[in-house]
Amino acid sequence: MTHMTTLDELKQQITVLASVEESGAPFVSCYLNLENGQTGWRDVLDERARILRRILKGNDLADFEETLGRIEAWMATDLLPDAKGVAIFARGTFGGSFMLPMQFAGPLPDRIAVYPTPNIYHLVELKDNYHRYVVLLALPNRVSILEVNLGAATIQAWLNQSGLRTRVGSEWARSHYQINQARRGDRFVHEKIAVLEQLMRAGGHTHLILAGDPGITARVRHALPGDLAEKLVDVVPASKRDRPTEVVMLTLASFIEHEEHESRSVVERLIEGLRSQNLAVAGSSATLDALRWGEVDTLVMASDYQPDPGWTCIACRATGTEPPETSVCPQCGNLSARSMDVREMLLRLADQLERPVEVVEHSDALMSLGGVGCLLRTHLYTKINKQTAVATG
């Protein structure tokens, strides 16, 4: 992928990765922070490769070396100069060749994991924290409408406003819009709001930030219709000296704060669901059960959630959240149980069910409940538990 990954693309890629089946060969999930330049990410990659070469043996080592070579080749030829983070998922020929690179305008943590399936947590966290939103930048000499997508924004200049309205549906998905006008007054403001409303409706956007001259943004805010006013996240001052990238950084901090507030609201709903009517569960085991029954509305996960390894059986597909003691599966008795990353399993199941995931920063309340839980769709989960207890009792 030789362009910055968009939110829609990221959602699709997460689904692809969550569906990858084990093949008996190592799958490399490579996240790199590019903020320190080539020397920085090169050192991280080399150091992690040295460690993994001491651990992997035989075909696994050969597969890893092939995969590492493909990652390095991609980094040498396809990396964009403005990228601040990359995520590359790859597997060698022995396990069934696979290669999926992504690059982003925002940084990612350095993490290189070798596991039977892709590690998708950091992609899910990125999708939840950054998402996308619209900025209306209102200055005395121009109005710009920007779509910020995973922390990146570019501007599409529209020189012919008369053609804008007919092109909204097909053009909005590509990037952003800049409308240069000299007219002032209420008519000017309402015209720009009408364009904004069309663009947000066409793109399915649910968050709006106003930025620019305080006097003009105040007029725009006062003139917003009810549906747009409900989507307004914040009003951020900016001047004509600020470059678009600087405006994005100003609004990004505000948007992330808003997202954290929404995350805390979800935790409050989770706690309320636990207190009444059994519309929520918490803890690794209960959450895994709810996902397996398909009764989850929203998976809620603390960013600090780091559960102990669980187990999964390659033969019968059974899973458990307690640490494995032997390779004997407690369900089918075969010597086919292996260690399982519980956090990754929960995320894979949630994506396969097409359920949203809320990643919550710094939540003592959620951590006190085990760091993870889920809102339930119906009371059916409780009924299923009762039926199961009767059947096995």
Q: Which range (33-47, 138-152, 256-270, 286-300) has the least confidence?
A: 138-152
Q: State the pLDDT at residue 351.
A: 96
276-310 confidence digits (pLDDT tens): 867 899 999 999 999 999 989 999 999 999 999 99
CATH 3.30.1330.30-classified regions of the chain: 277-393
Distance of CA 319 to the CA centre of its chain: 25
Domain made up of 277-393: CATH architecture: 2-Layer Sandwich (3.30)
- State the span(s) of the chain assigned CATH 3.30.420.60: 130-259
pLDDT at 389: 44
User: Residues with Cβ < 8 Å from 14, sequence gap 6 or more?
Assistant: 120, 123, 124, 127, 351
Q: What's the pLDDT score for residue 155? A: 39
Q: Among 228, 252, 224, which Cα is nearest to 107's?
A: 252
Q: Where in the chain is the domain with CATH 3.30.960.10?
A: 1-119
pLDDT mean over 169-184? 40
Tell me if 106 sits within 8 A of 57, measured CB to CB. no
pTM, 2 dp: 0.80
CATH T-level assignment (fold) for domain 1-119: 3.30.960
> Domain 130-259 is classified in which CATH homologous superfamily?
eRF1 domain 2 (3.30.420.60)
pLDDT of residue 179: 44
Residue 112, pLDDT score:
96
